[in-house]
Every structure is written in structure tokens, then in C-alpha cells.
A and B are shown apart, each in its own frame.
Chain A
Amino acid sequence: AQTVTQSQPEMSVQEAETVTLSCTYDTSESDYYLFWYKQPPSRQMILVIRQEAYKQQNATENRFSVNFQKAAKSFSLKISDSQLGDAAMYFCAYRSPNTGNQFYFGTGTSLTVIP
């Protein structure tokens, strides 16, 4: 089974600053998909950004961008101009093309935004 590791249980950032959350994964597959989800205190998991492994270009969604390093099996999330509403748990997830909708999640990073 694939393993997803988030080595930072907690992170903090000053409002308007930039923060990077780390994620590494272990796989022998060459084709797969990676996702970042955000879980605010309301508990609902919200998709932040996604990346296809076959695409070399890093995905970007407004203030959120990723640094995808396929050879290093690394998929970090960069949040620019951090806002108070960005405070949440962030989960990195891996999806294989061969196991339907079974996602493998990391243990999460709790992000605090300091005003």
C-alpha cells in the first residue's frame, strides 16, 4: 500500500506571510494523482489543489501552489499571503489509478495563522 507522510504535525504563519507544508509519499507506480485537502473546525474536508503525476508543471490555485518533485516523491503545498481563514488541518492524499476511489492520506498538518 502507498504511504503518505506529513512530517510537520503543526505549523504557524503570520498573516500575509508565506508558508510551505511538506508531504512525501512512497509508491512504485509511475502514474498517480496527488491532492491537498483542508479541514477547518467545521470538519468538512475541502479540496485545495490537485496534481497529476504525468504533468511536469506545478498546479496553482490562486494563493495556493504546489512544488511537485516526482523523483523525490515530494508534494509540498505553498500558501501565499496567508489569511486567517487558512487556519485548518491540511491533509496530503495519494490516489492510484488502479484502486478506484481509495485515497491514501497523511496524518495532517495543523496550520495556525497569527494575526
Chain B
Amino acid sequence: KAGVTQTPRYLIKTRGQQVTLSCSPISGHRSVSWYQQTPGQGLQFLFEYFSETQRNKGNFPGRFSGRQFSNSRSEMNVSTLELGDSALYLCASSQDSGGGNSPLHFGNGTRLTVT
């Protein structure tokens, strides 16, 4: 089974631009979550989608948005980029609907650099 696939691996953008990151979950996984990872902050939860519906949202500004398609693939969009948005963005999929002991399965992440 293929793992979680994130594209692109690296992105360099300029302040004020917008960016779209893509994530394909493991086949059969309907839950997709996004996390922002920065040095010293660990992983911060952005949002989770399950069956095309946003189920949970973290404490991030509205510039961060996402969506999930009927095939469970997900995209994350960041508008009006700021220097502080530079981070590793991780996508994770899960087999169950949440609340159990099923782990998150992570992709390799997209490294976003904002200049």
C-alpha cells in the first residue's frame, strides 16, 4: 500500500502570495489532518477533514484553509503569506473516524519558505 503522499516537497514563495499544498492519503483512509511544524514549537494542529467535511480546526488565522475531495485527497491553502508561515507542513491520514488508538500516518511534508 502506498503511503501518504505530499506535493510538492519544497516551495519558495514571496510575502503576500498564496500557496496550495496537496496531500493524498493512504488508500481507504478517510481522515486527513494537517500540521504545521516549526523549530521549538513542535507540531501544531491546523485542521482535520473527514469525508469531505472539516471536523476540527486549530488556532490558526483564516488565511489557512483546506478542503477534501471525494477521493479523500486534501489540499491546504495559505493566502497572503507572511514570513512566519515558513515551516514544514505535514499531512497525516488515519483509518478510523477518530477517538480510538489508530495512529496518524504521516507524509514527508512540504517545506515552505516565505521570503
Q: CB within 8 Å of B: which residues of A? A: 33, 35, 37, 42-47, 50, 52, 91, 95-108
Contact = CB atoms under 8 A, between A and B. Distances in A.
Interface stretch (B15-23, B61-69, B74-82, B95-103): B95-103
A45 B45 CA distance: 15
A44 B5 CA distance: 11
A88 to B, nearest CB: 13
Chain B contact residues, majority secondary structure = strand
Given A42-B108, A45-B106, A103 B42 contact: no
Interface residues of B, number: 30
B43 A91 contact: yes
B104 A101 contact: yes
Contacts of B101: 33, 50, 52
B104 to A, nearest CB: 6
A43 B55 CA distance: 26
A45 B35 CA distance: 12
Interface of B: 31, 33, 35, 40-45, 48, 50, 55-56, 58, 88, 90, 92, 94, 97-101, 103-109
Nearest to A105: B43
9 contacts: A45-B104, A47-B104, A98-B99, A99-B56, A100-B56, A101-B33, A101-B92, A107-B41, A108-B42
A89 to B, nearest CB: 9
Contact of B100 (A33, A43, A99, A105): A33
B80 to A, nearest CB: 25
Contacts of B43: 91, 103, 105
Given A100-B98, A101-B48, A44 B103 contact: no
A8 B86 CA distance: 25
Contacts of A100: 31, 48, 50, 55-56, 97-99
A44 B111 CA distance: 12
Nearest to A52: B101
